[in-house]
Amino acid sequence: MVEKPLHINPDADISELVLMPGDPLRAKYIADNFLDDPKLITNVRNMFGFTGIYKGKKITVMGSGMGMPSMGIYSFELFHFFNVQKIIRIGTCGALSPDAQLNEIILADSAYSESNFAYTYSNYDKDVVGVSKELNESIIAASNELNLRNLVHVGMLATTEVFGPYIDAERVINRIPKEYKPLGEEMETFALCHVANVLGRKATAMVTVTDSKYSDRVLSIEEREKSLDNMIKIALEAIIK
């Protein structure tokens, strides 16, 4: 085991409470628009992390990159080297259920993947991992307080290794065991939650629906930025509870 992180500035001032969007520029957007006195604390490989203050609490917002390997690296380093206790992933997804509409939010209560990530990581041979119930309860409470509960759907996320729109995603979706009913498809949650579970930390994921198998419409870059604000507000309120 290496003694220092290889992908995060070893001297970074990182809070025990972390929000993780996939996009490092979204981390900058959150820091600039929602945190007081934000400071860039790491930019190794241009994966930006910022620490600032939200309602008197120190918060770090850091990108995870795309896919399970990238999320696995950054979440492990945050937990292992910086003693992070809680991570909420705040990302985007494609909806797999007509119940979750564009601009609405899916809160993961579990994550399914057919990948070998967990088996390679720790010989875990199951295809579903759990999330932090405590964090989920805080997220539901925050969404109620902000009058945004009607936007939040709770259910399973399917974490894939390939970006769905670039392949025959239906072929992959049809391989999901029938007893599972994922609401959305994305690429990071399974890895984050497995790493957290192995290390005894808390993690969950909220993802905003930007496209759906039940709609031909896809949110533009501008629409994504605006619609993600509701998710960001909920996550900030929840992480400090």
Task: Report the catalytic residues.
Answer: 211
Tokens 């609405």 found at: 104
Phi and psi for 114 in degrees, rounded to 5?
A: -95, 10
Which residues have C-beta within 8 Å of that of residue 78, sequence separation ≥ 6?
Answer: 8, 14, 18, 62, 84, 87
Half-sphere exposure of 186 (CA within 13 A, CB side): 32
CB 234, CB 136: distance < 8 Å: no
Give the C-alpha separation, 68 to 158, whole Å.
12
Residues forming beta bridges with residue 57, ordered by sequence position? 54
Closest CA to 183 of 98, 105, 97, 111: 97
Residue 234: name the closest of 154, 121, 122 by CA.
154
Which residue type is seen at 68? M
